[in-house]
Amino acid sequence: MAETVIETCGLVKRYGDFTAVYGLDLEVRAGEVFGLLGPNGAGKTTTILMLLGLTEPTDGWIRVLGHDPVRDPIAVKRLTGYLPDNVGFYDELTGRQNLFYTAELNGIPRREAAPEIDRLLTRVGLADAADTRVGAYSRGMRQRLGVADVLLKRPRVVIMDEPTLGLDPEGARTFLRLIRQLADEGMTVLLSSHLLHQVQAVCDRVGIFVKGQMIACGPVDELAEQALAGEPLRLELELAPCTEELLSALERLEGLVEVHRRDGPAGTAPGDFARGAAASRSGESLRLELVCRRDVRAEVSRLAASHGAAVLHLSQAGRSLDDIYRRYFADGGETGGGTSEGAA
Amino acid sequence: MAVLPKVQPKVWLERLRARPAEAQAKAAPVGGLAAVVRKEFADHVNSWRMVILVLLLLVTGIASLYTAAQTIRSVVEATAATPDFVFLRLFTGGSSRLPSLTAFVSFLAPLLGIALGFDAICGEHSRRTLSRVLAQPIHRDAVINGKFLAGLLAIVVTLTALLLGVGALGLIMIGVPPTGDEALRLVAYGVLTTVYVAFWLSLAILFSVVFRQAATSALASIAVWLFFSVFWDMIVGVAAGDDPVGLGLWLSRVSPGYLYTEAMVTLLNPIVRSLGPVTLEQVLGALEGVLPVGQSIALIWPQAMGLVALTAVCFAASYILFMRREIRA
């Protein structure tokens, strides 16, 4: 098992009466991309600031690469790069000058910094804009300059707070690819986000954060199984033609809970499949959603074949992070306390 | 405009700096302070507000110097003798049309300090650069110390240039070199003015920590300045009532501007021998004469220390507030 890079134990942060983070146990291993996932105000940024020693925890302890950010923030900050949410630069300086300032703050001699800055600016695609004032940069360019700024100190851990927020889809995709590259180069990346699909695309493991507590933690697939263990399976199905007999046969399948007809733009009109069957007498194709307790895909296709219908589409739906997210956040408030202890 | 120096340091300097990696890593926090000072000073030098203020100081300085020189010449022509401390009169002498250089400086000095400091911290907040800078391996106080030191450096450079420039021009105009006593008095005046501007700088930095908006912070500093330069005299006049020299004087001395004026007048006018109320018995039988520079400095020592203390208090307050401040916006 890989070395633990970030470890917290019973981390608590209170602002007066408000508890921003409560009893957080986090473990991030070397070389992985870890996603802190949660709605706004869940305590993600507070956690990140505590990891960097920019805010003191009320209780609990933290180790980042073996250093305690409360006692020795300089050691942590030397090894850790931080890309804040909506990163800011000095508008009146050029991109290159901003990076030189960072290099100077890190004690990197100018002679060593200059080629490194050139290399990083090229890597993030800002070589042409290097000598333009940052004031004229677009948001995506600032964000990429932020990455160059973070990488300049050659960190072992990179912490990013909502890195793709406000980027256009193409910019976000490029950005995520860059994050993946960093991890492949052996860097450990911790990123926070409330954008599920991006987290799913890039993270090895995620921790789901609700109201200051991490209510689940693990690889996305595992979380899905955990979260949706009791949930019925949903199958999307398209049959042509779909006869009434076939529908009733489907309904009689063992383990089937419900059949929804998904037709027209409204999509998920629940219940009452009989009406749907009546409408499909013409022999046109019909889209259905099957809610079942077990995987009945094989039976469905066999049944369709025996009724002379073609299966145009058959897929398992609803195991994405969206469902996990919805499931956790919908009842996160009530079950939060219980599951966090389970996760711990 | 190149802000960070592009010139490569000389080879020997580089060698001096070339240390083992570990030593360098340990030295980084100190380097952080130096980096902040250098960057902030470069920002000051390049900023329009600094350019405007320095131009203002230069124009007023030259104008008042010219009138002072005119006045001195007419005095010399009338009496055919060089007045005492003629070099100092270049700085203190005005005319009915234009105030003296020192009057201009004491008016503009607070503005200079405020201009250098009003957006020190809140500017970083609003540009969202603070969290990024603090995530670098530097101590948190390097930022606020660096900003204060860079401001102080800018003040020292400006005032030194102004005094030397005006002194040199004056020397050309009247052709009388300053005596040692006068030169020392001018140096002391420069130091005193630096402290006075540093007070306004630290006050401005304090407001820039307290307020989130640069405009609010600037307004708060200017409000304090206006209060002391305009309203404080009126309040003192009403409050002191029939005791203008006792209570009135002490109340006046609450104002940093008054402290500065007292000290400045004593330094540049060797004839001033006392700053408090003088009884008739003390005046009776006293010999006319001037104070040596050491005695003048001794006389204004409390005022000077008062200004230093005010500066220290303001800076300490902003330091503590900044260190305790949550970084999140």
Same domain, A52 and A170: yes
Residues 6+ apart with CB under 8 A from B63: B98
Give pLDDT tens digits for B126-148: 988 999 999 999 999 999 999 99
10 Å CB burial of residue A91 (0-12, 13-18, 19+) is middle
| Residue at A198: amino acid letter | Q
Q: Is the CB of residue B25 less than 8 Å away from at least one CB of chain A?
A: yes
Among the listed residues A212, A198, A129, the one whose alpha carbon sits nearest the alpha carbon of residue A165: A198
Same domain, A124 and A35: yes
Contact A145, A98 (CB under 8 A): yes
Q: Is the CB of residue B19 less than 8 Å away from at least one CB of chain A?
A: no
Is cis: bond before A241, omega within 30 of 0?
yes
A31 in a domain, yes or no? Answer: yes
For residue B78, give both structure tokens. Answer: 């009338």
State the first-to-last Cα distance of chain A, in angstroms, to the nearest integer.
19
Nearest CA in chain B to A78: B137
Least confident of A77-91, A217-231, B155-169: A217-231
Out of A226, A252, A278, a domain closes at: A226
The domain of A78 spans 4-226
Q: How far apart are CA B14 and CA B8, in angstroms?
A: 9
Our measurement of the distance from residue B169's CA atom to the centroid of its chain's CA atoms, rounded to an integer in Å, reads 22
Q: How far apart are CA A139 and CA A88, in angstroms?
A: 10
φ and ψ of A273, to 5 deg: -75, -20
Residues 6+ apart with CB under 8 A from A123: A148, A151
Give pLDDT tens digits for B146-178: 999 999 999 999 999 999 988 898 888 888 888
Same domain, A268 and A286: yes
Same domain, A152 and A167: yes
Residues 6+ apart with CB under 8 A from B146: B32, B33, B34, B35, B36, B37, B39, B40
Same domain, A212 and A240: no
Least confident of A73-77, A296-300, B221-225: A296-300
Same domain, A219 and A241: no
Contact A300, A250 (CB under 8 A): yes
Suggest the residue from A44, A78, A93, A105 to mutate for an interface test with chain B (most B CBs closer than 10 A): A105
What is the DSSP annotation of A90-139?
Answer: -TTSBHHHHHHHHHHHTT--HHHHHHHHHHHHHHTT-GGGTTSBGGG--H
Give pLDDT tens digits for A226-279: 766 666 777 888 888 777 888 888 888 877 777 887 764 444 444 444 444 444
Q: How far apart are CA B124 and CA B217, in angstroms?
A: 13
Q: Is the pLDDT of residue B273 over 50?
A: yes
Number of A/B CB contacts below 8 angstroms equals 98
Q: Is the pLDDT of residue A292 over 90?
A: no
Mean pLDDT of B108-125: 92
Out of A179, A203, A226, a domain closes at: A226
10 Å CB burial of residue B317 (0-12, 13-18, 19+) is middle
pLDDT of residue A263: 63
pLDDT of residue B286: 74
Among the listed residues A171, A292, A309, the one whose alpha carbon sits nearest the alpha carbon of residue A240: A309
Among the listed residues A69, A124, A66, A70, the one whose alpha carbon sits nearest the alpha carbon of residue A95: A124
Q: Is the pLDDT of residue B100 over 80?
A: yes
pLDDT of residue A213: 87
Question: Who wins on pLDDT, B172 or B2?
Answer: B172
Same domain, A128 and A161: yes
Q: Is the pLDDT of residue B80 over 50?
A: yes
Q: Is the pLDDT of residue B86 over 70?
A: yes
Q: How far apart are CA B206 and CA B317, in angstroms?
A: 7
Q: Is the CB of residue B134 less than 8 Å away from at least one CB of chain A?
A: yes
A337 in a domain, yes or no? Answer: no
| Sign of the dihedral through C-alpha A182, A187, A191, A195 | positive
Residue B60: which pLDDT band, with cuts at 50, 70 and 90?
confident
pLDDT of residue A261: 78
> CA of B17, closest CA in chain A: separation in Å?
9
What is the DSSP annotation of A198-218?
Answer: HHHHH-SEEEEEETTEEEEEE
pLDDT of residue A99: 96
A325 in a domain, yes or no? Answer: no
Q: How far apart are CA B15 and CA A338, in angstroms?
A: 61
Same domain, A246 and A99: no
Same domain, A98 and A126: yes
Residue B27: which pLDDT band, with cuts at 50, 70 and 90?
very low
ipTM of the shown complex:
0.82
Asked if B128's CB is within 8 angstroms of A87's CB, the reply is yes
Same domain, A221 and A237: no
Asked if B128's CB is within 8 angstroms of A88's CB, the reply is yes
Mean pLDDT of B287-305: 87
pTM of the predicted structure, to 2 decimals: 0.81
A330 in a domain, yes or no? Answer: no
A132 in a domain, yes or no? Answer: yes
Mean pLDDT of A67-80: 92
Least confident of A42-56, A256-270, B103-117: A256-270
A301 in a domain, yes or no? Answer: yes
Least confident of A292-301, B59-68, B123-132, B296-305: A292-301
Mean pLDDT of B88-105: 83
What's the CATH code of the domain at A56? Answer: 3.40.50.300
Rg (CA), chain B: 23
Residue A54 has its nearest CB partner, among B39, B46, B134, at B134
What's the CATH code of the domain at A262? Answer: 3.30.70
Suggest the residue from B19, B33, B39, B136 to mutate for an interface test with chain A (most A CBs closer than 10 A): B136
Name chain B contacts of A105, Cβ cutoff 8 Å. Answer: 31-32, 35-36, 133, 136-138
For residue B169, give both structure tokens. Answer: 């021009």
Residue A318: which pLDDT band, with cuts at 50, 70 and 90?
low
Same domain, A75 and A202: yes
Mean pLDDT of chain B: 85
Q: How far apart are CA B110 and CA B221, in angstroms?
A: 9
Same domain, A129 and A237: no
> CA of A159, closest CA in chain B: separation in Å?
10
Q: Is the pLDDT of residue A104 over 50?
A: yes
A338 in a domain, yes or no? Answer: no
Name chain B contacts of A111, Cβ cutoff 8 Å. Answer: 8, 14
- Considering only residues 36 to 65 of chain B, which have any Cβ-Cβ distance to chain A shorter than 8 Å? 36, 38-39, 43, 46
What's the structural domain count of chain A? 2
φ and ψ of B184, to 5 deg: -60, -40
Q: Is the pLDDT of residue A285 over 80?
A: no
Q: Is the pLDDT of residue B3 over 90?
A: no
10 Å CB burial of residue A185 (0-12, 13-18, 19+) is exposed
Q: How far apart are CA A278 and CA A10, in angstroms?
A: 59
**Beta-strand relationship, A59-64 and A4-15:** antiparallel
For residue A181, give both structure tokens. Answer: 């590259």
Give pLDDT tens digits for A197-212: 788 888 999 898 888 8
| Residue at B324: amino acid letter | R
Q: Is the pLDDT of residue B241 over 90?
A: no
Asked if B127's CB is within 8 angstroms of A55's CB, the reply is no
